Amino acid sequence: MASSSPPLPHVPTAGLAPSARARRRTGRWVLLGLLVVLIVAALPMATRMFRPAPPPDVGTVKPTARGVYRVLLAPERAPVPLQRLHRWTVRVEPAAGTAGAADTAATVTVDGGMPQHGHGLPTQPRVTGRLPDGRLVVDGVRFSMPGWWELRLRVDGPAGTDSVTFNLAL
C-alpha cells in the first residue's frame, strides 16, 4: 500500500496513533494545496514584474524642454505603420498665452531612435511643407520594429531654440 502512494515529503509517523497519523497526512495535503495556491497566485504578479516597463510618457502634446513652445505631434494614419515610410504633422505654438495660434515662423528638425536598443532612426525624416492651418509636414518617417521609439524635435523660431522628445509605443 505504501509503495503505491504518491511520493510526498517524508514525515515520521511511527509511534503515533492512527488518527494522529491521518491528521498529519491531511495536513500535508492541505499544505501542498496552499503551496499550489500561492504559486498560482504569484504568477500574474511575476509576469507583470518581468514585463518590460512601458515608455515613460506617450503624450502627443508637450511643452518643449525649456518651455519656449508647445508642440503637438500626430501621425498621418493610425495605427502607426511598421516598415513603411509615412508622414507625421507637427504643430508648434508659442507656449505662453496664445494657445491655438500656430507659430508659422518656427521650423523643426527631426531625430530619434530606440533608447532600449541604442540605435537611431533608420531614415532621416524632415519637414517637407506646411499645411494651410500652420502644421508642419514631416515626411520620411519609418519604424523598423515594434517597441519604444523616440522622436526628438528641435524647434527653431522667433522665440528661440528649444527641443522636445516624444515617446511612441509601437
Binding site for other proteins (CB under 8 A): 1, 4-6, 18, 21-22, 25-26, 28-30, 32-34, 36-37, 40-41, 43-44, 47, 51, 82-86, 117-126, 128, 139-140, 142, 144-146
Residue placing its CB nearer to other proteins in the complex, 102 or 121: 121
Which cell numbers hold the place of 54?
Answer: 512601458
Task: Judge residue 37's burial from the number of C-beta atoms within 10 Å of its C-beta, 0-12 exposed, 13-18 middle, 19 or more buried.
Answer: exposed
Helix (H) or strand (E) holding 138: strand 136-141
Residue placing its CB nearer to other proteins in the complex, 44 or 97: 44
Residue placing its CB nearer to other proteins in the complex, 85 or 101: 85
106 and 93 in contact (C-beta within 8 Å)? no
| Minimum distance of other proteins from residue 48's CB (angstroms) | 9
148 and 116 in contact (C-beta within 8 Å)? yes
Reduced to 3 states (helix: H, G, I; strand: E, B; else coil), residue 88 is strand
| Minimum distance of other proteins from residue 163's CB (angstroms) | 18
| Minimum distance of other proteins from residue 81's CB (angstroms) | 9
